[in-house]
Amino acid sequence: MTDTPTACLVLADGTVFYGRGFGATGQTTAELCFNTAMTGYQEIMTDPSYAGQVVTFTFPHIGNTGINDEDDETRDPVAAGMIVKWDPTEPSSWRTTDTLDAWLAKRGRIGMGGVDTRRLTRAIRQQGAPHVALAHNPDGKFDIEALLAAARGFAGLVGLDLAKDVTCVQSYRWNEMRWAWPDGYAPLTAPRHKVVAIDYGAKRNILRCLASAGCDVTVLPATATAEDILALQPDGVFLSNGPGDPAATGAYAVPAIKGVLEHRDIPVFGICLGHQMLALALGAQTIKMNHGHHGANHPVKDTETGKVEITSMNHGFTVDSQTLPDGVQETHISLFDGSNCGIRLADRPVFSVQYHPEASPGPMDSYYLFERFADAMEARKVAAT
């Protein structure tokens, strides 16, 4: 690289990567992960599950379709920053309303291009997700020793409850359905089921999938109690995705879920962190992964049907399948490493998955899970008549 570097990434082991900065200027510390998706960088950067992380993209062409007003998973980027191979080019898409560079700058997130992302990815795979400091300075001046100290001083995600930082402040209703040509997002006009969704960092497209399955959704903050949830008399309870250490979030989330589970007929469906919260409430344990699963090409096997789904994943912790208690069945496993990707109770409509069925990399491989949730609520109503 002949140009003067305007950004640098310092790993806690002392490794330094230089590149060209874009987006916001300044400095941030975080855990570094890599994502193998070829599309969806806007959704990734706005996914609350990436709180506390800088994302390096293995696909080199990031930013080439720009930014639009419809693909945000939450209002602003949540990931701390992004590392890419090639500098973002001028966007080429009829949906573009902004460039990636300008969008990141307006929202205080740092980008860095011109990096050997394959080398960086190998380092993450071999050594685990490192703590890093990322800096962007147009003058090209960096205090490497200070950045190294900042990287080594980062507390990490183990023991860290981040759900409280990304959850909604107060409850709200959601009735927007999935995007469909030519009208885009349409409202749900004839809801069939009343669902309470617990927001540990919920993605908008998950809520849209619930609405498309006929659910009138009320979203509650992560700290909602069982009494808060049951007071709304839901037909079903949904546990959302989110960031951080599930054991830390479980300090307040697990008692609430246990309170809901005492009502044996209420269907419960969890995704990602919600899956981990449900597993903890049922008596299992979670563990930190070496480098996690982040991408849109992860094969998952349904152990009950034998079918394989191509899924989107984003998690650095996983449910330890060896700790699943009696009565809790493992329903899905990763074909990459055999880790747990789904559970259900044997005798009740309570189930969850580790991956993101709303992200549609399949593209429709996993949508049946939302229909299964809706069917369970319908069966409950029929049984009550």
Catalytically active residues, by annotation: 272, 356, 358
E-strand spans in the chain? 7-11, 16-23, 26-35, 53-57, 81-83, 110-113, 131-136, 172-174, 176-180, 184-187, 193-199, 215-221, 236-239, 268-271, 286-302, 308-319, 328-334, 340-345, 350-353
Give the DSSP letter string of 227-266: HHHHTT--SEEEE----S-HHHHHHHHHHHHHHHHTSTTS
- The alpha carbon torsion through 296, 301, 306, 307 (nearest 10 deg) reads -10
| Cβ(33)–Cβ(55) below 8 Å | yes
Three-state secondary structure call for residue 71: coil
Render the burial of 81-120: b for 16+ CB within 10 Å, e for the rest: bbbbbbbbeebeeeebeebbbebbbeeebbbbbbbebeeb
Cα–Cα dist 281/258, whole Å: 6
Helix (H, G, I), strand (E, B) or coil at 280: helix
Closest CA to 165 of 31, 52, 81, 75: 52
List the helix and strand counts (H, then E) for the chain: 10, 19
The H or E element spanning position 181 is none
- The Cα-based distances of 310 to 189, 201, 343, 356, 366 in angstroms read 31, 23, 18, 10, 8
Task: Report the distance separating Cα 156 and Cα 290, nearest Å.
Answer: 13
CA angle 124–250–312, rounded 5-degree value: 45
- Inter-CA distances, 194 with 88, 152, 215, Å: 43, 47, 6
Q: Distances from the Cα of 39 to the Cαs of 44, 58, 71, 300, 373, in angstroms?
A: 9, 11, 12, 20, 28
